[in-house]
Amino acid sequence: MSTAEPGDSATPTWTMGRLTRRSVGGIAKLLVLAFVVHTFVVPQVGGARAALSTVSGVSPWMVAVAVAAEIAAIVSYGELTLTLLPRQRHLSLAFCTGTALASMGINHVLPGGAATTAAVNYRIYGRAGVPRAELAFALGAQAIGSAAVLNLILWCALLASIPVSGFHPIYASAAGVGAALLLVLGAAILALQRGRERLAHEGSRILGRLPFIEPESVERAVRTVGAQLDALVHTEGVLLRATVAAGLNWLLDAAALWLMLDAFGPRPPIVGLLVAYGLANVIAAIPITPGGLGVVEAVLIPTLIGFGTPAAVAAVGVVAYRLVSFWLPIPTGVACYALLMRRTPEPHPRGVSALLGDIIEHPDDPAGETRAG
């Protein structure tokens, strides 16, 4: 005989509904991933058998240099974060690089794109004592600035490739997205610099009509972001260092791809590689699969083939590159996450699986203080 109270029946129903929604969402994403891999990746890998038969001819030296380039790219991203955070926080490059690797590794396991990365960063930096307002601005500037630099690289590569390989319709779409992003970014910076009070007033008037949003909070947020942007722009050398770090992050990652392809066959044209790399990363920004798994491969391989890279070399080189840039950061990133989380002792130490569970259940709890009873 059940001893449950009448009102208790709602709890398992709500829990089951929540689990069902999660299961359906997870199955849908797996189906999308399977479709992408089956439709775009598998047909390309068939040509890799010839390269696999001659894998003994691969240069270990080039592979080692490619791994070093990928590590340098991650360090550059850590330098970008360190540059954008206030200096008085006294964070080290090693700490920021470890956090970048942790967020990358977990983002490659869990879907959600930028939301998953932000949750990891909030958790680690929050425990390190970085205020949420400062961290939110730094992460936002990092994401937007990094995307702008990527689109600028893609634009330059597209312009350089047109005289050589001609114009393709997909170029127009990619260039249009990049141009729109740069225009929106420029307009936002201009509005915050020269029309801050008007933006704060109009934003609070419009957004204040929405439920659960206070007009005063909108005004305060606009003024805070504007003040932080002033500090970023007017602090000597910060903007230049951030731009250089973002550029190095993308270019070193692209260099790792170029070196992997070179290790398996003839050197690919640099302009064609940058076009393929830029297109793949712009499209992979849409959080369809964790870390763009399947999407990056589906764009890189045929685009590289279109620029003259042999099919076998393109397939094997991209797989080797993704092994270093996607799969290798997963175990190292999870290890970094566990290590950084334990930097601040907790009353009840938890395993890595529990730490990952916290990100899924409480992404907005930077200190990890919300626990199941």
Query: How many whole angstroms separate alpha carbon 201 and alpha carbon 276?
Result: 43
Token pair, residue 161, equals 């490739």
Q: What is the pLDDT of residues 303-313, one digit of tens each?
A: 999 888 888 88
The pLDDT, as a whole number, for residue 4 is 46
| Confidence band of 348 (pLDDT split at 50, 70, 90) | very low
Give, in order, the Cα–Cα distances in Å from 68 to each of 37, 72, 97, 257, 274: 28, 6, 15, 12, 19
How sure is the predictor about 29, in pLDDT bands with cuts at 50, 70 and 90? low
Q: Which segment of 167-176, 225-234, 303-312, 364-373 scores lowest on mean pLDDT?
A: 364-373
Give the residue with greater pLDDT, 198 vs 230: 198
pLDDT of residue 143: 86
Angle at 258 between CA 255 and CA 260, to 5 degrees: 110
pLDDT mean over 214-221 = 70
pLDDT tier at 3 (50, 70, 90 boundaries)? very low
Closest of 332, 286, 322 to residue 104, by C-alpha? 332
| pLDDT of 350 strictly over 60 | no
- Across residues 178-204, what is the average pLDDT? 72
Q: Is the per-residue pLDDT at 102 higher than 70? A: yes
pLDDT of residue 331: 92
The answer on pLDDT for 181 being more than 80 is no
Residue 235 Ramachandran class (φ > 0 left, ψ -120 to 50 alpha, else beta)? beta
The structure tokens listed for 112 are 């959600």
Structure confidence at residue 333 (pLDDT): 92
244-266 in b/e burial notation, b at 16+ Cβ within 10 A?
ebbbbbbbbbbbbbbbbbbbbbe
CA distances from 317 to 53, 74, 163, 257 (A): 14, 20, 26, 7
CB 304 within 8 A of CB 319: no
* Residue 327 scores a pLDDT above 50: yes
At 21, the pLDDT band (50, 70, 90 cuts) reads low
The answer to whether the CB of 175 falls within 8 A of the CB of 212 is: no
Q: What is the pLDDT of residue 50?
A: 58
State how far the alpha carbon of 24 is from the alpha carbons of 11, 35, 106, in Å.
20, 16, 21
Q: Is pLDDT at 99 greater than 90 in this prediction?
A: yes
pLDDT in tens, 245-283: 999 999 999 999 999 999 988 888 999 999 999 999 988
Over residues 341-361, the mean pLDDT reads 54
Q: Which SS3 state, helix, strand or coil, does residue 304 take? A: helix
In the predicted model, what is the mean pLDDT of residues 331-338?
92
Query: Which pLDDT belongs to residue 52?
Result: 53
Cα separation, 303 vs 297, whole angstroms? 10
- Is the pLDDT at 288 greater than 60? The verdict is yes
- Which is more confident, 295 or 257? 257
Q: What's the whole-number mean pLDDT along residues 55-84? A: 90
Q: What is the mean pLDDT of residues 46-62?
A: 63
Q: Give the percent of the chain with pLDDT over 70.
A: 66
Q: Note the pLDDT of residue 371.
A: 37
Among 28-32, 154-158, 226-230, 279-283, name the one with the lowest average pLDDT. Answer: 28-32
Lowest mean pLDDT among 91-105, 191-205, 297-311: 191-205
